[in-house]
Amino acid sequence: MTLLCITNDVPDLRSCTIRDQHLSTCENGKCGGCLPRPAEHGLLCYSCATKFDDALALSVDLISHCRSIESGPRDSSGIRSAPGSRVILPTSWVQADTLYRQLAAVAVAYSVDWGVDEPEWDITASHHNGFHPEAPIEAVWWVTDILTRYVSAATELLRTKHHGAEQAVRYVAAVQTALHAFPLDEKPHAVRHVRCRVCGHESLRVKPPLEHLDPIVVECSNLACGALWDPQMVEWDIRQLREQIEAERAKEAAA
């Protein structure tokens, strides 16, 4: 039985599918791809696992970034950030709270799934409400780093059970939303030694996996082409190239 990416089992999450690949029952001419991605890392597909790793790598910088600026209109809902207080927070601070709470949800899910202790909590932040409104940025960085280290160490296990895997992809969505609103400087990088299947140029580049609210995309940077590819197709090409080179070397060695 082939396990599918957890996103295909959670109704309110966008299902992970392979670009331009379809189920045999697909009759939608405008479908961009409906073949579900298989789970490759626990209950996460290649794309979700990669994006989760990248989201964790950005966590401390991104949350600190959102908490250190006062960007966007102040939230008029009067979020209660501490007992007995009614503090109106800037949008960027609300985003930092959202990120911290969702990262904490990943940690708690792992703790419950595996029956282990939760991470160390501090008065700087609540896993229910986010950061204390008067918390200095140094403290925000510190508690976020502790939480990120806890989750990073548990990644292999937490993504093998439903609750942990679901909270992991929800954290990816939260990070994507935050980056869309308060971007960090993350640039596309070139794919070496693989040519575009459409124009034949060695002009492929991987767009930052958390840049948009979409799966990871490989894009041809040739302005006359602009084709989009699924990363697994690029992996196939690399594997073919490796096999070709190894076969040629084996033939030379046998001559």
Residue 218, φ and ψ in degrees, nearest 5? -105, 125
Higher-confidence residue of 15 and 82: namely: 15
Higher-confidence residue of 110 and 27: namely: 110
pLDDT of residue 76: 45
pTM for this structure? 0.72
- Encoding tokens for residue 56? 């964790």
18 forms beta bridges with 35
Reported as a single tens digit per residue, the pLDDT across 112-155 is: 999 999 998 999 999 898 999 889 999 999 999 999 999 999 99
For residues 145 and 125, the answer to whether their CB atoms sit within 8 Å is: no
pLDDT of residue 214: 62
pLDDT of residue 84: 46
Q: What is the mean pLDDT of the chain?
A: 85
Alpha carbon distance 141, 155 (integer Å): 21
Strands 130-131 and 125-126, by their bridges, are antiparallel
Reported as a single tens digit per residue, the pLDDT across 53-93 is: 999 999 999 999 999 887 655 544 444 444 445 557 789 99
